[in-house]
Amino acid sequence: MRPYVRVLLSIGCLLILANMFVEYRGNIRSGDMQFFQSLAQRIIANPQLPGSFASSFPFLATILFVVVSLNPFQLSFEVAWALALLSAYGFVVLYTFAFLHEHDVAWLLIALTLTAFFLHPVQLFGRLDGFVILLFFLIWKTYQRHHLLQCGFWVLIGIFFKLSPMFLLPLILLSLSAAECRRFLAGMVLGAVPLLVSALSFSGLAGLWENTVHLIVLRGSRPVDVLSSLSSIDIFFRFLLKKPPMIGRVPDEAYTNWNLSLPSWAPFALFLVVIAGTIVVALMARKRLRERRELFPLYMSMTMLWVVGTSPLFSSQHLFWVLPILFIWLLDQAEERGFWTWKNIVIFCTAAGVALSTRWITQHWGDLLTGKSLPVILMHMTRTSLLFTLIYLLYRQVRPATERVS
């Protein structure tokens, strides 16, 4: 594709994204942003108070809320958040031009536009995951281009920003040689520098420790989200057996969409299932990635789809960890071959189906709690089926040719 075409596509995507932000501004303001602002105001009021950094978000994300709220221009939180998001994307664009490849910018903007269209613009502009996808993008591209020092840096920043990048550690570490592992781990050590600077600037190490411990306890005590794959199976069979759905609540959280209150040992058991799946993918990818680094986005997507599909926690914005990566890979494939194979078309349609069905059931999650709406229950099961089908399609894509023939 000619460079001027990429420039025109990038400008077009920017205009579409700007129009999405303006059109859905009310939804964005009424989403998680109010919770981010209240959390920041609590910390600003008394940062040294024990428990002030006991946030349901990792430490660097919590610091971001505080910084946005304390903006020196006294802008509203909504406007300051938009400027912070714009600054983050501007940084990634410059970083991509400096260290990666210029065409990655156009593909990133196209992928974000597609994902925002399928999932809902609020998932990009009004949630934390608009920042998180940038970290996943940088992790992918720095790994693929052998910038392992930078890759380790972004992985550690990502872990203390959203936790989810930690599930990529088995995939990355098992595919590297001993020397490459040392470079990657050195990058993680470098990533600890801005983390410690942030801690010392805002809360001290006590605040960082307090936030980390609270997150571990909180994540291990939550019941299963009603939008999760586990809940879809439970609600479906309870509907068939004409049994009322189970409803769970987290006393100190402002959420109501919880289902399946579990025994105390169950969250840990489910966590082991999630980890086991990531290790299995890592073992499958170990030799293949040493030969073909370009397969990393597929193994990365398989890993994160497994995490999203088997985790008791599920929210539609979690798909922002995966879908843009898949769409960028598909665009790369189209440019290399000049066309999409039927397998790539099926992958794209399945990913779009996962996103659109998730968007629909998110708008009707209250009907899931009642367990009486058959269309919503069937759509929930359809989404779960499509998600695991997508994992299988990606597995088929990365299998060696010799194995496929046999």
Distance, CA of 339 to CA of 198 (rounded, Å): 46
Predicted pLDDT at 260? 61
Nearest 5°: CA angle at 195, between 192 and 199?
A: 135
What is the token pair recorded at 183?
């470079």
> Cβ(97)–Cβ(88) under 8 Å?
no
**pLDDT tens per residue, range 234-254:** 888 888 888 776 665 444 443
The pair of three-digit structure tokens given for residue 137, joined into one six-digit string: 């993008």
Amino acid residing at 156: L
Question: What is d(CA 302, CA 327) in angstroms, rounded to the nearest whole number?
Answer: 14
User: Does the pLDDT value for residue 404 go beyond 80?
Assistant: no
CA–CA gap between residue 372 and residue 244 (Å, rounded):
9
The pLDDT, as a whole number, for residue 181 is 94
Question: 195: how many CB neighbours lie within 10 A of its CB?
Answer: 18
CA 339 to chain centre: 28
Structure tokens at 333: 């494939």
C-alpha distances in Å from residue 136, one per residue of 172, 275, 367: 13, 18, 33
Give the Cα separation of 288 and 21 in Å (integer): 41
- Buried b / exposed e over 103-126, threshold 16 CB at 10 Å, is bbbbbbbbbbbbbbbbbbbbbbbb
User: Which of 150-159, 261-270, 382-391 has the lowest average pLDDT?
Assistant: 261-270
What gap in Å lies between CA 170 and CA 193, rounded to an integer? Answer: 23
Residue 136: its H or E element: helix 129-144
Strand partners, 259: 224
d(CA 253, CA 396): 41
Tokens representing residue 227 in the block: 């939008």
Does position 405 have pLDDT exceeding 60, yes or no? no
Q: Which of 44-58, 71-85, 96-110 has the lowest mean pLDDT?
A: 44-58
Question: Does pLDDT of 269 surpass 80?
Answer: yes
Please compute the mean of the pLDDT values over residues 2-22 and round it to a whole number.
81
Residues 387, 307 contacting (CB under 8 angstroms)? no
User: Is the model's pLDDT at 201 over the cut of 50?
Assistant: yes
The residues spanned by each domain of the chain are: 3-405
Say if CB 14 and CB 108 are below 8 A apart. no
Max mean pLDDT range (69-73, 214-218, 297-301): 297-301
Q: To the nearest whole percent, how much of the chain has pLDDT over 90?
A: 33
Say which residues have a Cβ less than 8 Å from residue 347's Cβ, sequence separation at least 6: 326, 330, 390, 393, 394, 397
Percentage of the chain beyond pLDDT 70 is 88
Element (H, E) at 371: none
Torsion region of 51: left, alpha or beta (phi above 0 gives left; psi -120 to 50 gives alpha): left
